[in-house]
Amino acid sequence: MRRIPLSRRSHIIGFQPLPTGIAEHESALERDFVTVTSFLDPAASITSQPVTLAFLDGHARRRYTPDFLVQASSGRSSLIEVKYRADLREQWPRLKPAFAAARTWAREHHATFRIATERQIRGPVLGNAKRLLPLRHAPLDVAVAQQALETSRQLDAPTFGAVLAALPVSRPVGLATIWKLIARGALRVDLSAPITLDTPIIR
């Protein structure tokens, strides 16, 4: 059981079901990190508080538990600490030796250690993840989906709007189909930017 003292930041305890298991979070920022990570790499394994490290800080013995271990589908492993930037600045003298211990552990286990803040976690990718994840396994009209895919290949400069305009179906059906295809990765777009009708389809 994770035991983290309450702070002035939002303390939200919960679980997220993932294709690879269940990830636990205890803050809004941790929740958003899990959402973004699972969105960008659905096959990634995300383990909450995977290890507790014992280390010396001067003459004092201390313990530190990083937030997550992420094993990407590529095979890379990352030990992750999720922190707000303001908390990093405020707590840095206490956190620095703990992070040094985490980097040592990561090197010994063929992983990397990194700190994820709201700057990396929150932005267009998170917005896209929240919109697209519920659509990833939504029912799809196969015939309309095939038309959309063929249209995207035929257009010289396909965009979300151009594919939508070329589909011989109602606008709501076309919109729903294109969103679901993007969610499944069948139509690729730049997920680091907001998705609009002008968003190019990547071929």
Let me know: does 10 contact 28? Beta carbons within 8 Å: yes
Which token pair is 112? Answer: 């990397």
pLDDT tens string 2-40: 444 444 455 667 767 676 667 777 799 999 999 999 999
| β partners of residue 25 | 14
Which residues contact residue 62 at a Cβ distance below 8 angstroms, ignoring those fewer than 6 apart? 54, 55, 56, 97, 98
pLDDT tens string 109-156: 999 999 999 999 999 999 999 999 999 999 999 999 999 999 999 999
Residue-by-residue DSSP string for 1-38: -------SS----EEEEETTEEEEESSHHHHHHHHHHH
* Domain final position from 122, 142, 173: 122
Asked whether residue 161 falls in the same domain as residue 118, the answer is no
Residue 6 main-chain phi, psi, to 5 deg: -65, 145
Q: At 93, which CATH number?
A: 3.40.1350.10
* Domain final position from 105, 122, 139: 122
Asked whether residue 106 falls in the same domain as residue 18, the answer is yes
User: Vertex 33, ends 29 and 37: CA angle to 5°?
Assistant: 170
Q: What do you get for the CA distance between the two ends of the chain, in Å?
A: 45
Asked whether residue 88 falls in the same domain as residue 163, the answer is no
Its pTM stands at: 0.84
Domain extent at residue 151: 128-184
Asked whether residue 111 falls in the same domain as residue 139, the answer is no
Q: Is residue 3 part of a domain?
A: no
Asked whether residue 115 falls in the same domain as residue 22, the answer is yes
Asked whether residue 93 falls in the same domain as residue 168, the answer is no
Asked whether residue 56 falls in the same domain as residue 96, the answer is yes
